[in-house]
Structure 1
C-alpha cells in the first residue's frame, strides 16, 4: 500500500479460517468508527461492502482493542502479532 507519509506497521491481527469472513467483519469495524480508504479497495469480488481496507481513527492501542473486539463479535479467534 502506498501512502504519502512514512508509515510503519505496529500490529497484525488475523484469524485462521477455512472461509473468508471480511464481509462479516467489516460492518463491526464500521460501527467502531473505522472509515473506508477508497470505495472498492480490496473488495472487488464483493457486492455488499464499500471496501475491505479501513482506517482506524484512534491511537494504536485503541485500534488494536477495537479490532480484537470486532473479531470476537463475529466469533473469530484473533491472533495478534505486535512488531
Structure 2
C-alpha cells in the first residue's frame, strides 16, 4: 500500500532480475484493469500530482517472462491535503 500527499511525486516499483531484461516484459494496469502506457521508459509506475479522486485504487503490475506471467498489486491511497 502506498500513502502519499497530494501534488507529490511517488512511484510503484515492479522489478525483475537484470539478467532477464531481454526475456521479460512489464505491463501496468489501472484500478479499472485498463493497461497504462509507461512509454517503455521504466518498470516503475510514476505518479505526479496524484489526487484522492483520480489516483486511488488497486494498481497491478504484470511481469511476463517466457511463457509465465506474475501479477503484483499495490493499493494507492493519496492523502487529502490539509485545510
Give the structure with the larger helix fraction.
1
TM-score if structure 1 supplies the norm length? 0.33
* Larger-gyration structure (1/2): 2
Give the structure with the larger strand fraction.
2
TM-score if structure 2 supplies the norm length? 0.33
